[in-house]
């Protein structure tokens, strides 16, 4: 049996362990709730993290589709990008997958014949972590972009009246504003 088959065999346990390790990054009261409530609308954080965990594992162990991997990373990281985490802690969920695998397969990994495959798998997880950082960054960038957009929308008519708004119907901004931009 190769490492991949072994992982497929223990997928359920790894998934459970990884999910548990992610929940432990939250306060205990919240972790208990995220774990207990299975309703995707009443517990959206738990549901999104669960979906991400399941999806990423399936992608790792099956045929990998880049867009799908990004989608599942996004399910987790978009939430953590606005929660109480530093950038490192926000994307730390993916290194936690390494820990989950090592813990579940502790005995099996003693076998040196798995080493090559195991290192390749860990590299794949490192790649996922880096992608997660890209997504984290784009989420944060979007937050700042939204602040600016919101101010423009909020003052829309006043800006339009003052001719300070780029609007296809109104024509472009006055030249001095363009220079500033």
Partner 1 sequence: MAKLPKPDELIKSIDWTPPEKDWMDDVPPDIKPGRFCYPAKKNILEEIGFPNPRDWSPLDEDWKLPSNYREIIIEGMKDRLSKYRSFKLFMDICVRCGACADKCHYFLGSGDPKNMPVLRAELLRSIYKGELTWQGKFFGKLAGARKLTEDIIKEWFYYYYQCSECRRCSVFCPYGIDTCEVTMMGRELLHLVGCNTNWILEPVRNCFKIGNHIGIPPHTIKEIIEYLCWDIEEVTGLKIEVPFNKKGAEILFVTPSGDYFAEPGIYTMMGYIILFHYLDLDWTMSTYASEGGNFGLFTSHEAMAKINAKIYHEAERLGVRFIIGGECGHMWRVKHQYMDTATGPAPKNLETPRSPITGTVFEHAKSTKMIHVCEFTADLIAHGKLELDPSRNDKYIVTFHDSCNPSRGMGFFEEPRYILKHVCNNFYDMPENTIREKTFCCGSGSGLNTDEFMEMRMRGGFPRANAVQYVRDKHGVNMLACICAIDRAALPTLMNYWAPDVKVCGVHELVANALVFPHEKTGERPRTLDMRQEPLKPEEEENA
Binding pattern for the stretch 22-61 against partner 1, x by CB under 8 A and - elsewhere: ----xxxxxxxxx--x-xxxxxxx-xx-------------
**Which CB, 80 or 105, lies closer to partner 1?**
80
Instruction: For residue 146, state whether it binds partner 1 (rule: CB under 8 A).
Output: yes
Contacts with 147 (C-beta within 8 Å, 6 or more apart), sequence order: none
Which residues, 89 to 128, sit near partner 1 by CB under 8 A?
Answer: none
C-beta of residue 91 within 8 angstroms of C-beta of residue 129: yes
Shortest gap between Cβ of 174 and partner 1 (angstroms)? 18
- Strand stretches in the chain, DSSP E: none
C-beta of residue 97 within 8 angstroms of C-beta of residue 125: yes
Shortest gap between Cβ of 56 and partner 1 (angstroms)? 19
Instruction: For residue 78, state whether it binds partner 1 (rule: CB under 8 A).
Output: yes
81 phi and psi angles, rounded to 5 deg:
-70, -20
167 phi and psi angles, rounded to 5 deg:
-150, 130
Only segment of 55-63, 104-112, 128-136, 139-147 that touches partner 1 (CB under 8 A): 139-147
C-beta of residue 50 within 8 angstroms of C-beta of residue 56: no
Q: CB burial class (10 A; 0-12, 13-18, 19+) of residue 46?
A: buried
**Which CB, 25 or 124, lies closer to partner 1?**
25
Only segment of 4-12, 96-104, 137-145, 173-181 that touches partner 1 (CB under 8 A): 137-145
Binding site for partner 1 (CB under 8 A): 26-34, 37, 39-45, 47-48, 78-79, 82-84, 139, 142-143, 146-147, 149-151, 153-158, 160-161, 169
């Amino acid at each position: 049996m190769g490492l991949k088959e072994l992982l497929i065999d223990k997928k359920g346990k790894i998934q459970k362990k990884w999910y548990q390790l992610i929940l432990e990054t939250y306060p205990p009261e919240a972790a208990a709730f995220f774990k207990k409530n299975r309703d995707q609308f009443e517990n959206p954080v738990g549901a999104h993290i669960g979906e991400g965990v399941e999806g990423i594992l399936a992608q790792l162990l099956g045929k990998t589709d880049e867009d799908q991997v990004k989608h599942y990373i996004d399910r987790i990281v978009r939430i953590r990008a606005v929660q109480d985490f530093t950038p490192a802690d926000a994307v730390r969920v993916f290194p936690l997958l390494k820990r989950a695998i090592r813990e579940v397969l502790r005995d099996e990994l003693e076998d040196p014949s798995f080493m090559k495959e195991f290192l390749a798998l860990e590299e794949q997880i490192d790649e996922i972590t880096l992608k997660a950082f890209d997504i984290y960054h784009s989420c944060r960038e979007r937050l700042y972009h939204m602040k600016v957009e919101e101010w423009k929308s909020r003052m829309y008519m006043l800006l339009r009246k003052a001719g300070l708004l780029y609007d296809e119907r109104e024509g472009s901004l006055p030249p001095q504003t363009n220079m500033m931009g």
